[in-house]
Amino acid sequence: MSWSILAALTLALCLAVLTLWKRKVEREELERELGERDKAKSQNTHRARLQYPQVDLSQCIGCGSCVDACPEDGVLGLVHGQAVVLHGARCVGHGRCAEACPVGAIAITLGDLSDRRDIPVLTEKLESTRVTNLFLAGEVTGYALIRTAVAHGTAVADEVARRVAAAEDERPDLLDLVVVGAGPAGLACSLQAKVHGLRFVTLEQSDLGGTVAKYPRRKLVMTQPVELPLAGRMARSTYEKEELVELWTRVAREQKLPIQTGEEFKDLAVHEDGSFEITTTSGRWRARNVCLALGRRGTPNKLGVPGEELAKVAYNLLDAHSYTGRRILVVGGGDSAIEAALGLAEQPGNVVTLSYRQRVFTRLKSRNEARLLEATQKGRISLALESSVERIDPASVVLSFADGGRRVVENDEVFVFAGGQAPQSLLEKVGVSFDPEERHPGLPIQEQGTGLFRALLVALFLTLMTVSWTFVFRGYYGLDAPERPFAREHAWLKPTSFIGLTLGVAATVLVLANLSYLLRRAPKFDWIPGSLQQWMTAHVATGIGALLFALVHSAMEPKHTVGGHALWAMAFLVVTGAIGRYFYAFVPRAANGRELALDEVKTDLAQLSGEWDRQRPEFAQRVREEVQRLIAEGRWQGTFFQRLAALVRSQRKLSDSLARLRAEGRREGLAGEQLDALVSLARRAQRTALTAAHYEDLRGLLASWRWFHRWVALAMVLLVALHVVTAVRYAVFGGS
C-alpha cells in the first residue's frame, strides 16, 4: 500500500506540474496573440484589402490547423482557443486555412464591400448584372490569387459552353467567345473553351501572362495546387515568374490556342440582337459572349510633382540586376515597393532610400516586413517615413516631411509604386456596374455545417439497426450468462461464432479508420484524398459505429476480461469525445465574445476621450492609461488563484480609480454627463476583462479534456490489441 501511495503521489505531482506549465505557456501565447492583434489594429493591418478568412466561432474547435496551414505569417492566430483574424491585410486568399479546417468553420470571402466602388457587381456566375453574357474573371473581380483566377476562367468557359449548346439559332458570323486578357484567368478560360470545342479568340495587349509577366525578375509566385485545363496539375506549389510564364507559353503553344498579342482593348458595343462587337487597336471581333480578364493594375498612379516626366522615373521594376552603382529612391509602402527596394539594395554599389507617407507600414506581408527591418538595421536601405516627394531634379529629389522639414537626396533613379488606376472607367463604359447599392448583401455569419449532422445520421442508422437486431433476438440476449449456452441461437450469436467474429473484426477496422483521422490531420499527409471536414465526419461516425459493432460482438454482455475492458474504454471514449466537442465549441466562443465586447468598450472610450484631446490632451491620455491598467489587472496577471483573490479586491480598486478620475475630470471642467459616461465605460471595461479572463481559465481547465480523450483512446487501442492477440492465441491453442 505504501508503494502505491508513493507512486500515486508522484504521478499526481507530475501531472499537476505539467498542467501548470502548460497553462503558463498557453497564457504567454495568448498574451502574444492579443498583443499582435492590438499591433495589427494600430498599424491598420487588421482589415482585409480584398480577400480574407471569415471564421465562424460557433463552429471553431481551436485545433489550430488553419494557423499552421496559412503560408502568410500572422493572418490567423488562436485567441481563447479559437481562430481569429489578426493581420487581415496580409491575406491574399490562398484558401489553405479553409481547406485545413476539419469542421468547415472558415470561408474565404471579400471584405466589407458596402462602400467599395472599385469592385465590380457580378452575379454568382461572374456575369455583369447589367449586360447579359458579359463575364469578368480573375484579378479584376477583386480576387488576386492565381488559383482563383484559373477557377474563374474555367467556370466562365463552362457557362458559355452551356449557353451555346442551349442556343437555338446558329450564327456562323459570330464567335462563341472572345477572351480579353491572357493572364491566368484568360489562359484557363481559353483552354477550357477548347475543351468544349468553342469558336473563340483571346486578345492580349502585351505578352502572355498578364499581371504576372510584369512582376520583378525571379519573383517567387505562389500558385497553390493548380490544375490547368488540358495541361493537368502543375508540378510544384511555387514558381519563379519566368518559370511560370514559360510554362504557360509552352501550354498555349502546344494546345495551339488562338491568342493574339499586341491587341489593346478599346471598346465593347452591344448590338440589338445581344451580340458583342469588340474593338482593339488593330481590328474588330463579333461574338455571342465576352470574358474580360483584364487584371486590376491598369494605369499606374503618378505623383503629380515637377520633374516626374524625367526619363529616370519608372513605375515598375522588371530586373533589379540591371541597376548597379546607382543612387535610387523608391516611393511607396506596399509589398511591391518593399520588394523592389530590397532587390535593388542587394545589387553592388546601390544606395537605396525608401520614401513612405505614413509613420508605419500597414500593408506588408510578414516576411517582407522582417526583411525590410533587417535591411534597415544593416544600413542597406535608408527609410524616409512620413515623407512625400516635392520635386524631382536630374541629379536629386526633394523630400518634404510631415513635421515641415525638407531634405535633398542625391539621386539617379526613381521608382514609384503608388498603386494604379483599375480599368474601372472602361468597364463602366461597357456596362459593368460598381454601385454598392446594386451589390447583393453578403450572408451573415452562420452555421456552415461541420459534417456532424451527417455523421450523427450515420450513427443513428447503425444504432437503429443494432436496436432492431437485439429486439429480434431479445429472447437470447435476455438470458443470463449461464443459460445462454443451452439456447439454440448461441452457436451463431456468441462472440466466437462467425457473426460474432465478423462484428469484432468490423469493430477493429472501424477503430483503425477512426484513428487514421489523426494521420490525415498531419501536414505531411495532406496528399491523402478527402477534405479534413470529410475525415472529421468519418471520425465521429466510425467511433460510434465501432462501439455498436463491439457491443453486438460481445453478445450485449461484456465480461470482466480484456475484451470487456476494451469495450468499456471504447464507450468512455465516445462520451469524452462528445463532451469535449461541446465544451470546445461553447467556452472559447463565450470568451471571444467577451473580447469582442471589450473591443467595443475600447472604441467607445477612444471616441469619448477623443473629444478631449484638443483641449485636455494630458487628461485624455491619463484616462486611456488608467482604463487600460484596469483591463490589464483583470486579465492575465498571476495564477488562477491570484486572480480569484484579485476579484475580491477589484471592486475597491475600481471605485478608488473611478473616484480619482471623476475628481480630475471636475478639475478639468468636464460636464457631469461626460464623467458619467467615462465611469460607465471604465466599469464595463474592467468587468468585461475579468469575465474574459475567467472564461479563459475555464477553457484552460477544459483543455486537459482533449489530452484526457487522447489518453483514453490510447488505452482503448492497447486493450483492443491485447484482446485481438488473446483471441488469436485462444483460437490457435485454446480450442473452439
Domains of the chain: 17-110 (3.30.70.20), 134-298 (3.50.50.60), 302-421 (3.50.50.60), 452-581+706-734 (no CATH), 585-704 (no CATH)
Q: Give the number of C-alpha atoms closer than 13 A to the C-alpha of residue 117, restricted to the C-beta side.
A: 4
Strand order in the sheet with 381-385: 313-314, 413-416, 327-331, 351-356, 381-385
- Does this model's pTM top 0.85? My answer is no
Provide the pLDDT confidence category of residue 15 given band limits of 50, 70 and 90: low
**Alpha-helical segments (H) within 385-438:** 424-429
Question: Residue range 316-328: average pLDDT?
Answer: 83
Is the model's pLDDT at 279 over the cut of 80?
yes
* CA torsion, ordered 189, 190, 193, 195, to nearest 10 deg: -110
Which residue in 42, 120, 138, 127 sits closest to 87, CA to CA?
42
Residue type at position 270: V
pLDDT surpassing 90 at residue 716:
no
- Chain mean position to CA 647: 37
Q: Which tens digit of pLDDT belongs to each residue from 633-643?
A: 655 555 556 65
Among candidate residues 412, 148, 408, 406, the one with its CA nearest the CA of residue 296: 148
Q: Is 262 left (phi over 0), alpha (psi -120 to 50) or beta?
A: left
Q: How confident is the model at residue 124 (pLDDT cuts 50, 70, 90)?
A: confident
pLDDT digits (tens, 9 = 90+) for 583-633: 665 666 666 666 666 666 666 666 666 666 566 777 767 776 777 676 666
The model's confidence at residue 458, banded by pLDDT at 50, 70 and 90, is confident
C-alpha torsion 657→663→668→674, nearest 10: 70
Of 192 and 261, which is predicted with more confidence?
A: 192
**Is residue 720's pLDDT more than 70?**
yes
User: Comparing C-alpha atoms, which of 571, 502, 545 is closest to residue 715?
Assistant: 571
Tell me the C-alpha distance between 326 and 411, whole Å: 8
What pLDDT is attached to residue 715? 83
Q: Of 444, 577, 540, give the one whose Cα is nearest residue 103.
A: 540
| Upper half-sphere CA count for residue 372 (Cβ side, 13 Å) | 22
What pLDDT, on a 0 to 100 scale, did the predictor assign at position 154?
A: 93
Grid cell locating 640: 488562477
pLDDT tier, 445 (very low <50, low <70, confident <90, very high otherwise): very low
Q: Distance between CA atoms of 343 and 174, rounded to whole angstroms? A: 48
Question: What pLDDT is recorded for position 649?
Answer: 67
pLDDT band of residue 191 (cuts 50, 70, 90) is very high
For the segment 727-731, the average pLDDT, to the nearest whole number, is: 74
Alpha-carbon span 572 to 555, nearest angstrom? 19
Is the Cβ–Cβ distance between 276 and 286 less than 8 Å?
yes
| Comparison of pLDDT for 579 and 520, the residue scoring more | 520
**Residue 244: per-residue pLDDT:** 79
Strand pairing report for 238-240 and 259-261 = unpaired
Q: What confidence score (pLDDT) does residue 291 get?
A: 95
Kindly report the average pLDDT of the chain as a whole number. 78
| pLDDT band at residue 218 using 50, 70 and 90 as cut-offs | low
